């Protein structure tokens, strides 16, 4: 593409995911600073190894509050609010279930039903107590664990955007393992959007259903095809239903959210995935800053609205369906 001529790409593997940074200047130092920033937040937020601020909170479950860095505190507060929305399937305290399914990690298997129900009892977001003055987080019951996997990448993508802005960089793209945040457009000429692929579920890594075009917006997808395993002919994916303890199961393969901030996209993909097409569209009808692209198991692509992006269908085995059909 001609507009790509002056784009410089930098890549790394962080947070267990491929990271891609695109800039309009050859600046390895800046790219290095961006990757260092991502690593910094990963070290605060990870629940896959100690130490991290979130691991410190988890280790103190049932024992005492833990004072955390203000950014971590705000993120946990935001994750708790999302978890307490009416009928929310987002749950920041889903950790014990994520750990027992191990989806995306070695040794994933279907846990025994009694283990799932034991762990379900350890996932109430109400038992995550926040203290705004102290910036402390207290998980009241031993065995409970926070998991910020559904929100951390979005949050970090926004911090990268803010950092680039602080360095007077107003055009670029950061892709954190599928969480994309764009700055400006894709060319030094005005009005050239970035193209973000809408992935075809359970197909090759480069197989797309279509292309989403945005400028200065975030594009985040949660999909059943991202991390999964198969057992006895059934697929089990990594987004768990906090009401049942099993992977969420409805008509959807993926939800993509286009929004200003990637942290919103990261939260809303999970919330909207839990709602399904009809309820999801109804919910977003009065949220102009959050737009969804649903991919259904019966190969429909449904757009909740289309003010923030354009979408071009490329795979003719999919049908662009009107909202609510
Ligand atoms: P995402 O890639 O943003 O869809 O987030 C998926 C990750 O979030 C999983 O790998 C888990 O670590 C975590 N997770 C799984 N189910 C939930 C849930 N219902 N609410 C919040 N986080 C979840
Ligand atoms: Mg998410």
Task: Tell me the per-residue pLDDT of 264-316, one tens digit each, with 9 for 90 and over.
Answer: 999 999 999 999 999 999 999 999 999 999 999 999 999 999 999 999 999 99
User: H or E segment at 238?
Assistant: none
Which has the closest alpha carbon to 303: 195, 311, 96, 252? 311
Measured distance CA(124)–CA(140) in Å, rounded: 10
Residue whose CB lies within 8 A of the most ligand 1 atoms, among 147, 178, 249, for a mutation test: 147
Q: Which atom of ligand 1 is nearest to the CA of 91?
A: 20
Measured distance CA(227)–CA(208) in Å, rounded: 17
In short, whether 108's Cβ falls inside 6 Å of ligand 1 is no
| Dist. CA 219 → ligand 2 center (Å) | 11
pLDDT of residue 2 exceeding 80, the answer is: no
Cβ contacts of 324 within 8 Å, gap of 6 or more: 277, 278, 281, 302
User: H or E segment at 261?
Assistant: none
| Dist. CA 17 → ligand 2 center (Å) | 14
In short, whether 270's Cβ falls inside 6 Å of ligand 1 is yes
Burial of 88 (0-12, 13-18, 19+ CB in 10 A): middle
Question: With bands split at pLDDT 50, 70 and 90, how would you rate the model's confidence at 325?
Answer: low
| Dist. CA 240 → ligand 1 center (Å) | 7
Instruction: Check: CB of residue 308 under 8 Å from CB of residue 259.
Output: yes
Ligand nearest to C-alpha 145: 1
CA–chain centroid gap for 169, Å, is: 24
Cβ contacts of 217 within 8 Å, gap of 6 or more: 182, 258, 259, 260, 308, 309
Cβ contacts of 196 within 8 Å, gap of 6 or more: 180, 182, 211, 212, 213, 214, 219
Q: Which atom of ligand 1 is nearest to the CA of 266?
A: 3
Token duo for residue 219: 């594009």
pLDDT of residue 324: 54
Ligand nearest to C-alpha 224: 1
CA–chain centroid gap for 194, Å, is: 19
Token duo for residue 19: 């990271």
The pLDDT tens digits for 132-163 are 999 999 999 999 999 999 999 999 999 999 99
The pLDDT tens digits for 50-63 are 999 999 999 999 99
Which has the closest alpha carbon to 123: 240, 44, 42, 247? 240
| Dist. CA 63 → ligand 1 center (Å) | 26
The dihedral built from the CA positions of residue 275, 95, 245 and 99, taken in this order, carries a sign that is positive
pLDDT of residue 107: 82
């Amino acid at each position: 593409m001609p507009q790509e001529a002056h784009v410089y790409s930098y890549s790394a593997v962080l947070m267990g995911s491929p990271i891609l940074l695109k800039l309009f200047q050859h600046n390895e130092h800046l790219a290095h600073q961006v990757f260092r920033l991502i690593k910094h937040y990963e070290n605060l937020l990870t629940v896959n190894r100690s130490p991290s601020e979130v691991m410190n909170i988890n280790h103190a479950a049932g024992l005492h509050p833990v004072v955390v860095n203000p950014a971590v505190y705000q993120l946990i507060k935001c994750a708790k609010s999302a978890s307490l929305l009416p009928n929310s399937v987002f749950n920041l305290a889903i950790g014990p279930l994520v750990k027992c399914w191990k989806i995306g990690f070695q040794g994933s298997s279907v846990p025994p039903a009694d283990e799932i129900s034991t762990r379900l009892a350890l996932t109430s977001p109400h038992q995550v107590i926040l203290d705004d003055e102290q910036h402390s987080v207290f998980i009241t019951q031993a065995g409970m664990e926070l998991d910020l996997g559904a929100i951390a990448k979005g949050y970090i993508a926004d911090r990268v955007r803010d950092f680039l802005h602080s360095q007077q960089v107003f055009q670029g793209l950061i892709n954190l393992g599928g969480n994309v945040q764009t700055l400006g457009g894709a060319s030094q000429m005005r009005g050239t959007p970035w193209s973000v692929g809408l992935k075809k579920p359970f197909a090759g890594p480069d197989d797309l259903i279509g292309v989403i075009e945005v400028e200065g917006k975030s594009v985040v997808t949660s999909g059943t095809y991202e991390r999964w395993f198969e057992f006895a002919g059934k697929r089990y994916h990594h987004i768990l239903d906090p009401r049942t303890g099993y992977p969420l199961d409805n008509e959807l393969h993926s939800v993509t959210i286009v929004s200003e901030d990637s942290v919103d996209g990261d939260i809303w993909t999970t919330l909207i995935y839990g709602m399904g097409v009809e309820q999801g569209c109804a919910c977003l009808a009065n949220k102009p800053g959050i737009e969804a692209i649903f991919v259904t198991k019966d190969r429909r692509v449904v757009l909740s609205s289309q003010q923030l992006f354009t979408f071009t269908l490329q795979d003719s085995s999919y049908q662009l369906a009107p909202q609510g059909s």
